[in-house]
Amino acid sequence: MRTPRQNQLDRALASTLLGLGGYLLPEIALRIEIGLRTHPRATETEITEALHHADTAGRLTSVQGETCPKYKLNSAGLAWAAENL
């Protein structure tokens, strides 16, 4: 079971990627956006855990870029976002 803070981070992650319309977002930019969308600002550890949780839950598609991984929501992630945002 996820805590309210973890749910806040999950929603920030999903809403950030949902706004991209299926385009890939570099991890660095994703971390910045999640930090900006959470109050108080999310720590690096919290963001790493949220990314790991969404990835293991099968909500993300990731591609290794030249400098860092890039993420987008897959169909399971879009379904989760539709139910939770």
Q: Using one digit for the tens of pLDDT, what is the confidence trace for 32-71?
A: 999 999 999 999 999 999 999 999 999 999 999 899 999 9
Cα 57 from Cα 76, distance rounded (Å): 9
For position 17, what pLDDT does the model report?
Answer: 95
**CATH number of the domain bearing residue 24:** 1.10.10.10
Question: Radius of gyration of the chain from Cα atoms?
Answer: 12
Number of domains in the chain: 1
Domain of 34? 4-84
Alpha carbon of residue 63 to chain centroid? 14
